Structure 1
Amino acid sequence: MSHVPQIKIPATYMRGGTSKGVFFRLQDLPEAAQAPGAARDALLMRVIGSPDPYGKQIDGMGGATSSTSKTVIISRSSQPDHDVDYLFGQVSIDTRFVDWSGNCGNLTAAVGPFAISNGLIDPARVPKDGIATVRIWQANIGKTIIAHVPMTNGAVQETGDFELDGVAFPAAEVQLEFLDPAAEEEGAEGSMFPTGNLVDDLEVPGVGTLKATMINAGIPTIFINADAIDYQGTELQDAINGDARALKMFETIRAHGAVRMGLIKHVDEAGKRQHTPKVAFVARPAAYTASSGKQVGPNDIDVLVRTLSMGKLHHASPGTVAVAIATAAAVPGTLVNLAAGGGTRTATRFGHPSGTLRVGAEATQANGEWTVTKAIMSRSARVLMEGWVRVPGDAF
């Protein structure tokens, strides 16, 4: 009986922020997968272990959550004044689908370290000790991100004392600047608020009419008030992810919000765009116990935020949603801003299921249009394993 042997592909398994994924240099991929298309998608799905009808990704590198079913392709940049191009693929767990519609803000923290360690940055621009500045072109959304990567004795520093809620161990801090974070989405006309309003009445069949702030910043996100859907904003994953009715409600909200944002033309198309937009619900500060057992008090945070990602409540916060939170909080009158107490603010600390996160953004208004020049946050990153990933030779 004939069989097709496995092939091996150079790869690095990395944690970035509160996510982890498989990183590749574009040049290391099989030739058929070096260009976008069916072969690339099939290869990445097989690497991760999807589609898996059991929802476990046992036969691949994925971890059966939206935070761990991720792939990244890095190459020397095709854009002037940038070091690398960063392409992110969110792999569906149980369906045959790779979503290329948005960025992963958490894995962004690992892009600079990966690029330096894999020889994709001009050595003259990398100090032996100090901070290396890596100029990243985020190819999914066409945006610039600046990563500030610590270097020690000529190597990327990965260990340190920076603590990030949602990550068990401390590591070295990587500061990220998301420049002009308003996402350029088809149908959104480049506007940070694609409907033209800071708050809309979003009609959702079977749910009702909800106040919603719909924003394109970091990643397209629909913010709603927690009390409008009978939540407190202090919920942890188990309160929602085991509730089929709740998950169906959030997906319905997401689909109708996507139509209003101009991201899709009909709600039936939402299933083909699982990664974007995100749905998040917000509330005024309140005390709760984070998933780690850490006590979060109302004075520790400015606002409560819970985010749905790939159909489930996220265990912390997608990094791109953190950018959306920072941006929306900086604009007086959005639901995020109002839940945080209103007024003008340049920094916001929000509570998520794993703890808290501080993010910053500065908003300005000109001719009735709001703009944000950059959003800032800190994450950490670490190589977990490097070498080769193996897939059956007929997998793509």
Structure 2
Amino acid sequence: MAHAPQIRIPAVYMRGGTSKGVFFRLQDLPEAAQVPGEARDNFLLSVIGSPDPDARHGDDMRGATSGAIETVIVSRSARPGHDVDCLFGQVHVGASFVDWSGDCGNLSAAAGAFAIGSGLIHRERLPRSGIVNVRIWQANIGKTIVVRIPVTHGQAQETDDVELEFIDPVVEVKGSGSAMFPTGKLVDELDVPGIGSLPATLVNAGVPTIFVNVTDIGYTGTEVQEAINDDPKALALFESVRAEGAARMGLIAPAEEVASSKHAPIVAFVAAPADYVSSSGQRIAAGDIDLVARILSMGKLHHAVMDTVAAAIGSAAAIHGTVVSQAANGDKREVRIGHPSGTLLVGGDVRRIGGEWIVIKTMMRQSVRVLMEGHVGVPDQTV
């Protein structure tokens, strides 16, 4: 009998912040997968071992803590003023679905180090020792991210955190243009089935995000993943919030179409600072943070706060009257976020120009580490 062969594709498995992903150079992908389309999606589905309806993760790169596993494709950029293009795909675990609608800022930090280590940065740009500013064109959202990578002997170092700047992180949203607040309001009243009127701040910075104060619907904001992900009623409730917010933002019409994009918009629930214990057992004191935040990604409570959502939090926290600034007890240029895995400090440079709120940039720091490099095996789809 004939046995189906596998092909071996160079890949690096990396951590950026609290996220992990499989990184590829575009030039290393099978020829058919080097362009967007079904072949690329099928390739990534094969890498991850999806669909996996039971979420047992028996044939994938890692066990997922949400409904998706991250993949990143990086290539040398032809765009002026940029070093590399970065494309982020969330591979859904339970279905044959790759979501290209958003970005993972955590892995954007790792993309800078990957670009250096994989030879995508010209050697003349690398000092013997110092800091290299890797300018990334984030192709999913059409934005620039600057990652400052420490370099020793021309090699990216992983012993220090890297700095990230999201330049002009407000994203274009169909139906509402590129406004930071797509409805023109700092707070909207969403009509959510089973809840009624729910105050929400709808923001387009980093990734389209729906902010609600979770105490308005009976939660605390310090919930662990199991408290939400093991409760179908809670998941359905937050999906209803997401559907109503997405329709109000002009992302979908009607709201029932929200299922076509599992990634965006993101639902983020916030609340005033409170003591809690992180997923690693660390005790987080209310006095050490400005607010607590939890986000739902791909239909599940995330184990941390993605950098793109942190950019939205940092932007909204700097503007008096938003749901986020209310939870933080006042507008702040820097905000300390308490999330399930620990804390994150994010800054927002936000200004009001000509009657419109403009986000110049948001800033944060993340850790980066190469976990494994080599090859991934996938079935040869050409035979």
Distance in 1, Cα, partners of 2:382 & 2:108:
28
* SS at 2:220 equivalent: coil
Partner of 1:234: 222
Whether the 8 Å CA contact 1:49–1:62 is kept in 2: the answer is: no
Partner of 1:157: 157
* SS at 1:183 equivalent: coil
Partner of 2:343: 356
- Under a length normalisation based on structure 2, what TM-score does the superposition of the two structures give? 0.97
Distance in 2, Cα, partners of 1:175 & 1:244:
38
Q: Which runs of 5+ in 1 are unaligned?
A: 161-171
**Which residue of 206, 229, 236 corresponds with 1:218?**
206
Partner of 1:14: 14
In the alignment, structure 1 residue 131 sits paired with structure 2 residue 119: no
Distance in 2, Cα, partners of 1:295 & 1:67:
27
TM-align CA RMSD = 1.4
Distance in 1, Cα, partners of 2:328 & 2:311:
15
What's the CA shift for 1:67?
Answer: 8.2
Partner of 1:368: 355
Whether the 8 Å CA contact 1:43–1:395 is kept in 2: the answer is: no
What's the CA shift for 1:207?
Answer: 2.5
The one-letter code matched in structure 2 to 1:376 is: M
* SS at 1:223 equivalent: strand
Whether the 8 Å CA contact 2:67–2:300 is kept in 1: the answer is: no
What's the CA shift for 1:340?
Answer: 0.6
* SS at 1:326 equivalent: helix
Shift in alpha-carbon separation, 1:103–1:265, aligned structure 2, 3 A: same
Q: After TM superposition, list the pairs within 5 Å mapping 1:166-177 onto structure 2.
A: 172-177=160-165
In the alignment, structure 1 residue 26 sits paired with structure 2 residue 29: no
What's the CA shift for 1:349?
Answer: 0.3
What's the CA shift for 1:342?
Answer: 1.6
The count of aligned residue pairs is 383
Partner of 1:98: 98
* SS at 2:252 equivalent: coil
In the alignment, structure 1 residue 265 sits paired with structure 2 residue 228: no
Q: Which runs of 5+ in 2 are unaligned?
A: none
* SS at 2:208 equivalent: strand
Distance in 1, Cα, partners of 2:275 & 2:370:
35
Shift in alpha-carbon separation, 1:395–1:363, aligned structure 2, 3 A: farther
Partner of 1:163: none
What's the CA shift for 1:236?
Answer: 1.2
**Which residue of 285, 291, 303 corresponds with 1:303?**
291
Distance in 2, Cα, partners of 1:187 & 1:207:
26
What's the CA shift for 1:68?
Answer: 6.6
Partner of 2:372: 385
Distance in 2, Cα, partners of 1:30 & 1:105:
26
Distance in 1, Cα, partners of 2:204 & 2:131:
30
Distance in 2, Cα, partners of 1:97 & 1:286:
37
The one-letter code matched in structure 2 to 1:242 is: D
Distance in 2, Cα, partners of 1:389 & 1:84:
23
* SS at 2:202 equivalent: strand
Distance in 2, Cα, partners of 1:311 & 1:68:
9
* SS at 2:204 equivalent: strand
What's the CA shift for 1:66?
Answer: 3.2
What's the CA shift for 1:311?
Answer: 1.1
Residues 91-141 of structure 1, C-alpha deviations (whole Å, 9 max, x = no match): 111011100001101101111100011111111111111111100000000
The one-letter code matched in structure 2 to 1:109 is: A
The one-letter code matched in structure 2 to 1:372 is: V
Distance in 2, Cα, partners of 1:33 & 1:186:
28
What's the CA shift for 1:57?
Answer: 2.4
Whether the 8 Å CA contact 1:258–1:267 is kept in 2: the answer is: yes
Partner of 2:318: 330
User: Identity rate of aligned residues, in percent?
Assistant: 59
Partner of 1:319: 307
